Structure 1
Amino acid sequence: MKQMLADVQAKPDTRGISLAEVGIEDLHYPLLIADGQGGKREVAATVTMSVSLTADVKGAHLSRFIDVLNEWRDQFGPGNTLSMVDELRRRMGSRSARAKVSFPYFLERRAPVSGIPSFVDYACELEATVLDTGFELTQQVDVPVTSVCPCSKAISDRGAHNQRGHVTIGARPLDPRGDLWFDDLIDIAESSGSSPVYSLLKRSDERYVTMAAYDNPLFVEDIARNVALALQADGRIAEYRVRIVNDESIHNHAAYAAIPWTAVATDSWSGNGD
């Protein structure tokens, strides 16, 4: 005879306090993420998942978070992430549910002169929130670039100081089940700096990259505006935010520029999942 085990989480709570988020975080899990080439790639993701609890519910069944994640692990993309979070909300009987999935995303980059391939990693993130009244989806990338200081170039007899910059783009797609890929946001970021960053460069490549960056000097403000213009011109994006940080090479500080969430389309985000 099967023993009936007590379900403590399902018991009512009488303290009258609702909870906005209850869940799991810092879970490391292998996922298959859709890429911009029509395929899938396995990533080692860090996952946060949560649901809301009304005042009368004592606790959440934490095992269900892993159940739902594992069921969806081989079909991750923006639209599917929303569907997964909505399933989590319904299975938990909650008014809202949220998931944030962070992972390194590798793209092959060929050196500009030798053409030798190598891979560059980009920090990417998907965050989805589903309520019983609507949803919100954010795609984010963090992309390394090179920037050359225009002021240093203008005042120096020889050379100019340069630095490693990080371009962080957050985007909310007009159609969460559409075709806005991490690859597209990464391309926008890389094209907005003085030069992309490569894992492998031969001497001919290094010469090319150094001179190309020198011919395209940009302040951190320039990079932020370049990114914003490219995002505004992309008809797939409803809202965006931008943050650029340069690790200064001759100063004991970093320089940054930021643009908060900015709407692109007037009809952006009905938020009803249709």
Structure 2
Amino acid sequence: MNEQPLPDIAAQATHHDLSLDWVGMAGIALPIRLAGEAVTASVDIGVSLDDAAARGIHMSRLYLAAQRLVHLELKVPAILQVLDDCLSSHQALSDSASLTLRGAVPLKRPALVSPLHGWKAYPFEIRARQDGRGLTIELQVEVEYSSTCPCSAALARQLIQQRFAWDFPDRQADYLNTLDWLGSTQGIVATPHSQRSTATLQLRLHPACIELPLLALIDSAEQALGTPVQTAVKRADEQAFALANGQNLMFCEDAARRLHHALGQLPEVSAFRLRVVHAESLHAHDAVAESRCNWS
């Protein structure tokens, strides 16, 4: 049997001359390494189809380009190489290439007081684009934390004062009686409400960046907030967490301002935007705040 070349329908001309902004594949499963941890990422990869007369692109070439990232520590040069491969394999067809990776990186986090530790997953998204203006990389991560309402804390303190006045009407409470009272359910008659909250942080990297500053971003955000959600805890850790919440009362506006200041200190960042969501335990709706710097 004579071997014949396989037909390449994508190389044929189209009947509808029209360029396309993006053509590619979405949802490719790819094992990568990020922040020193193994991650299974979902990858979107594609190019523009600028040749209006071309029928299509070469999907298999994009897939093979993405394989460069398998098991590598994900860094900017590796991403740039993948995008360059996409463009070089589509010369005369495409002027831009893009890559998006989504997943959740597991990080080992220590308890507040005890020697325990646990693992916490941080959802991330990396978006990269190479075109005539150069390389653009954006990094997004979600950080969960606890937020205790300052208004609710003030109202709770007022109720405790009122209960104290009620229980000690003669105003002659001695030290030991007061100490016992403070440790009783009768004394702490009200507590402020708090809720699990989420910060979505999106930053654009400086062109000179080599590393993806994922760990620095997460650590900076958690330090600024002061109350990241915990993993393994003992009672001493839970008490320390209660103390941290009491010393870091915050509205969503407070959290957004803390994070804005923290992101502004990261040298790898040329622009950023952020969104915080406090999933209210008092209301059936969320409290939300947003901020940005040099983002357009």
State the TM-score, normalized to the length of structure 2.
0.82
Matches within 5 A, 1:28-107: 28-33=29-34, 35=35, 40-54=36-50, 55-75=52-72, 76-93=74-91, 94-107=94-107
State the match for 2:275 in structure 1.
243
Distance in structure 2 (CA, Å) of the matches to 1:71 and 1:136: 19
1:2-54 C-alpha deviation (Å, 9 max, x unpaired)? 32011111112242211001111122221233x2xxxx432110111111102
Letter aligned with residue 101 of structure 1:
L
Higher strand share: 1
CA RMSD of aligned residues (A): 1.7
State the match for 2:234 in structure 1.
202
Deviation at 1:201, TM superposition (A): 0.9
Letter aligned with residue 23 of structure 1:
G
Matches within 5 A, 1:86-235: 86-93=84-91, 94-156=94-156, 157=159, 158-235=190-267
Aligned counterpart for 2:290 among listed residues 255, 258, 270: 258
Letter aligned with residue 254 of structure 1:
D
Q: Give runs of ≥4 in structure 1 deviating > 4 Å.
A: none
Letter aligned with residue 41 of structure 2:
A
Question: Would the aligned equivalents of 2:23 and 2:49 in 1 still touch at CA under 8 Å?
Answer: yes
The alignment partner of 2:89 has SS state of: helix
Larger Rg: 2
Question: Would the aligned equivalents of 1:122 and 1:141 in 2 still touch at CA under 8 Å?
Answer: yes
Judging changes above 3 Å, is the alpha-carbon distance between structure 1 residues 30 and 165 closer, same or farther for their aligned structure 2 residues? same
**Which consecutive unaligned segments of at least 5 residues does structure 1 have?**
265-274
Distance in structure 2 (CA, Å) of the matches to 1:46 and 1:251: 35
Judging changes above 3 Å, is the alpha-carbon distance between structure 1 residues 85 and 43 closer, same or farther for their aligned structure 2 residues? same
Deviation at 1:194, TM superposition (A): 4.5
1:136-182 C-alpha deviation (Å, 9 max, x unpaired)? 11011111111111111112233211011111111112245334510
The alignment partner of 2:199 has SS state of: strand
Please say which of residues 248-257 and 229-238 is displaced more in the overlay.
Answer: 229-238
1:208-256 C-alpha deviation (Å, 9 max, x unpaired)? 1012111210111111111111111222211111111111111101111
Deviation at 1:83, TM superposition (A): 2.5
Distance in structure 2 (CA, Å) of the matches to 1:258 and 1:79: 31
Question: Would the aligned equivalents of 1:79 and 1:177 in 2 still touch at CA under 8 Å?
Answer: no
State the match for 2:162 in structure 1.
none
- % identical aligned pairs: 30
Question: Would the aligned equivalents of 2:46 and 2:99 in 1 still touch at CA under 8 Å?
Answer: yes
Distance in structure 1 (CA, Å) of the matches to 2:257 and 2:247: 18
Judging changes above 3 Å, is the alpha-carbon distance between structure 1 residues 243 and 79 closer, same or farther for their aligned structure 2 residues? farther
Question: Would the aligned equivalents of 2:76 and 2:211 in 1 still touch at CA under 8 Å?
Answer: no
State the match for 2:18 in structure 1.
17
